[in-house]
Amino acid sequence: MKYLILILTLIPSLLISQGWEKTYGWGIGRSVQQSTDGGYIITGDKYVPGNYYDIYLIKTDEFGDTLWTRTYDLLQFHDYGMSIQKTTDNGYIITGSTESKTEGRDVYLLKIDGYGDLQWAKTYGGQNSDYARSVKQVSDEGYIVV
């Protein structure tokens, strides 16, 4: 019994020691999801010289090594990447807010394929500022944004 307890206490230590830690030299990471290939996809926003932010995306392998990156500019003053989720077609949906210099913020949705190529982008908003923090795909293939 003593040996069994020792083995069980060592297993979590071994699993933790096999982890990794990476630093990506860009703005703010806000959402991460594990992809079906075992890697990760991270979204956030990146400072761009000229005093504005764009949506930034990093795709990594299972060890955190960068496979590719994408920057999305919605042609506004600041674009913030807040949430990314895998979609049923093996792509991703990203939401956040886009801010103009004069009209406040609007919510956006970006649909990308599994390689980060933009399929479509839509913005939603009214007279006041609108914010989005999370997005999920629903059973009818639409999206719900909070």
| CA gyration radius, the chain | 19
Domain-located, residue 15 = no
At residue 126, does pLDDT exceed 90?
Answer: no
Averaged pLDDT for residues 128-146: 93
Residue 34 lies in domain: 25-145
pTM: 0.82
- % the chain with pLDDT above 70: 88
Domain-located, residue 14 = no
Domain-located, residue 11 = no
- % the chain with pLDDT above 90: 64
pLDDT for 18-72, tens place per residue?
A: 688 988 877 899 999 999 999 999 999 999 888 789 999 999 999 999 999 999 9
Domain-located, residue 41 = yes
Confidence of residue 11 (pLDDT cuts 50, 70, 90): very low
In the predicted model, what is the mean pLDDT of the chain?
Answer: 86
At residue 7, does pLDDT exceed 50?
Answer: no
The count of structural domains within the chain is: 1
Among residues 97, 110, 5, 94, the alpha carbon closest in space to that of 41 is found at 94
Domain-located, residue 12 = no
Lowest mean pLDDT among 14-28, 97-111, 129-143: 14-28
- The distance between the two most distant Cα atoms of the chain, rounded to a whole number of Å, is 70
CATH number at residue 130: 2.40.128
Q: How far is CA 64 from CA 40, 69, 106, 107, in A?
A: 7, 13, 32, 30
Domain-located, residue 63 = yes
**Burial readout 27-57 (b: 16 or more C-beta within 10 A, e: otherwise):** beebbeeebeeebbbbbbbbeeeeebbbbbb
Domain-located, residue 104 = yes
Domain-located, residue 84 = yes
Lowest mean pLDDT among 21-25, 30-34, 73-77, 128-132: 73-77
Copy the structure tokens of residue 82. Answer: 């807040």
Cβ-contact 76, 121 below 8 angstroms: no
